[in-house]
Amino acid sequence: MDRSKLYRRFRTLLIANRGEIACRVIRSARAMGLRTVAVYSEADGDAMHVADADEAVLLGPSRARDSYLNIQRVIEAAKQTGAEAVHPGYGFLSENAEFAQACLDAGLVFVGPTAAMMTAMGSKSGSKFLMEQAGVPLVPGYHGEAQDETILAQAADKIGFPVLVKASAGGGGRGMRVVNSAAELSAAIVSAKREAKAAFGDDRMLIEKFVQNPRHIEVQIIGDSHGNLLSLFERECTLQRRHQKVIEEAPSPTLNATQRESVCAAARKAAGAVNYVGAGTIEFVSDGKEVFFIEMNTRLQVEHPVTELITGIDLVEWQLRVAFGEKLPLKQDEIKLNGHAIEARVYAENPQKNFMPSVGRIKTWRTPDAVDGLRIDAGYRSGDAVSPYYDAMLAKVIAWAPTRQAAIDRLNRGLEETDVRGIVTNIPFLSALVTHPQVRANTIDTGFIERELKGLTDRTGVVGELELCAAVAAIIGEEQRAARHEAHSPWRTYGWQPVGLRTRVFQFRQGQGTEQKVSLQYGDGQFAVSVANREAPFLVSVAPYAAGGLFDLTIDGMKSQVTAVIEGHELYLRTRNGRFDLHWVDPFGGETEEQVGEDKIVAPLPGTVVALLAEEGAVLEKGAAILTLEVMKMEQTLRAPYAGVLKKIKCKVGDIVGEGVELAEIEPAVA
């Protein structure tokens, strides 16, 4: 084939993706002088990537299959805007060979490997055949074309349990299950196939031996169309949950220099098996002694920024230069490793509720400045809506420093200074994770998070005197700020009260805990705050609010920096003691909060019913599976909150249900 049809210089680039990665690609493309085109669904009309691009085209309805996964519509959008090239990002169509070929057939440059390379290496099964021929070590497993359940069961039995069942296409932990016994296999295969089909449009499975206490090592590679193929050192992605990476770092703290060169050479050998062109990642699993090839991702990875920070290379820029038909700018021995980088993925999810995705509108979005080795790659802003249709990742916080310990400290500081309100995020969980002593000591494996989950998610701090004083100060400050815009407001007079007194009483509650009473007495320039169990009041003064809800709070002569966000009667505080969510009890008795019992089988978020796992009339034990919802591309199984009888199922497979809709009714067992 004429190489000019595959690689040539272009001026307009369409990014066939959304969120953080679309914004990331737009940033590098613009720096190179390219015109950028975004695509979006009906749910993403006001999204950040749409605003960042020079032009944007509506693809279709909110569901990914009707918009971002609609190949023909993406091609039409490119033609409509005069785009000459397409960057697929990661996820969606990024490893879809049909899409890569469709771009070529339409006269578009696909920023990535050819369809043939993608087919050979993008399939976990197909790539293993190639690696066998190339002499790259493999995990024992089955990666054949026969997919009936009997064949898969026989393969699993031959390999020996525990085994890993996973989708041949895609990644991100979707369509992947650890199976410990033959009795669990059938249900795991059905669920994994269904999830893979929904995420990637391909439900083919492979089965391989589950490596005990594994470490996840991967090597970044990139090749050009002139036969040059480079490795850009390795990353370690061992901190995972449900096979979804949570923290990534580079270089791996597990490998020494000899091991590093060995695994990087194996990665170049693996990619060289198909004369690979473009950016890609060769993934390995290690049992502490040997390293085995597991798969290749024929695209840019979520965690690529840590490689960029230790090499000084903009991988998106290099992708685009390769697509131009240029040679790679450096040779292998010119790529130098500098320092250590670590990245945390910020998700809209609630770790205290089994990482249930969180949807809604972001009311507050505050991140620290990207200076002193800190980098923030985000796809959302204040005011943006987080929908149930797509992956829940909001942003990545990445830190670089000369040493691993310093990078961890810098990352934790970045997390501590990031405030996202209106939805629930995993930021406190991430902070607890990166500061865990075993993470610092690198005594971990891929099962670490599951083993330590309770300690990592149970991080509710005790509201102390600092937080109570800060809550009062935040309310007073908010009232005075609002009063400045109201000429006749009584709050313009410091300490005004409707009955002429200069004292107020506040009551605050954390979660479902007891209420704490705080008394405020106004003074000239400062006020006295009385807290229960303390005889003398605190003398408190407050500096004016700075940007981001930040203010200096001085208590008895000691100054502290506090962040506060007030949303009605809900207060969010960040102090030196951590993060706190407080409810300001209505002083006029207007509490009308609905207490939702945990015994209700309701949809926690909008989603699609994909499986009914019990029948009406069934006698259920506590924790028994009732039905499965697909939410944000991941399956969530709803279970019985107590033992009883499944009296009624109020939905069917295929139903699209809204948040809070009751799906099943259980009659408690008689004691």
Residues classed as catalytic: 299
β-sheet bridge partners, residue 522: 527
Return the closest-CA partner of residue 220 out of 91, 308, 138.
308
**Taking a C-beta distance cutoff of 8 angstroms, is the pair 138, 130 a contact?**
no
β-sheet bridge partners, residue 385: 361
CA 567 – CA 559 distance, rounded (Å): 25
CA 537 – CA 528 distance, rounded (Å): 6
**Taking a C-beta distance cutoff of 8 angstroms, is the pair 319, 292 a contact?**
no
Q: Give exposure, 646-656, as e/b (b: 16+ Cβ within 10 Å).
A: beebebeeebe
The CB-side HSE value for 138 (13 A sphere, CA atoms) comes to 21
CA 420 – CA 415 distance, rounded (Å): 11
Side chain identity, residue 578: G
Q: At what angle do helices 97-105 and 115-122 cross, to 10 degrees?
A: 180
Please give, one letter per residue, the 3-state secondary structure of 541-592: EECCCCHHHEEEEEECCEEEEEEEEEECCEEEEEECCEEEEEEECCCCCCCC
Residue found under tokens 């000691």: 558
Return the closest-CA partner of residue 156 out of 112, 111, 205, 108.
205
Q: Which secondary structure element, helix H or strand E, spans residue 52, and what is its range?
A: helix 48-52
Q: Residue length, the chain?
A: 671
- The residues near 408 (Cβ < 8 Å, ≥ 6 apart) are 342, 399, 434, 435, 439, 440
Strand 35-41 to 55-60 pairing: parallel
For 92, phi and psi rounded to 5 degrees? 50, -115
Q: In this structure, what token pair is assigned to residue 353?
A: 């509720």
Strand 176-179 to 163-167 pairing: antiparallel
β-sheet bridge partners, residue 141: 208
Q: Is the peptide bond before 498 cis (omega within 30 degrees of 0)?
A: no
Centre a 10 Å sphere on the Cβ of residue 213 and count the other Cβ atoms it contains. Answer: 12
Q: In this structure, what token pair is assigned to residue 591?
A: 């509490």
**Taking a C-beta distance cutoff of 8 angstroms, is the pair 250, 306 a contact?**
yes
Return the closest-CA partner of residue 407 out of 448, 436, 378, 440.
440
Sheet strands side by side (includes 35-41): 55-60, 35-41, 12-15, 85-87, 109-110
The CB-side HSE value for 614 (13 A sphere, CA atoms) comes to 26
CA 583 – CA 425 distance, rounded (Å): 19
Angle at Cα 569 formed by Cα 568 and Cα 574, nearest 5°? 95
**Taking a C-beta distance cutoff of 8 angstroms, is the pair 106, 78 a contact?**
yes
Angle at Cα 63 formed by Cα 62 and Cα 64, nearest 5°? 110
**Taking a C-beta distance cutoff of 8 angstroms, is the pair 112, 298 a contact?**
yes
Return the closest-CA partner of residue 278 out of 85, 99, 113, 101.
113
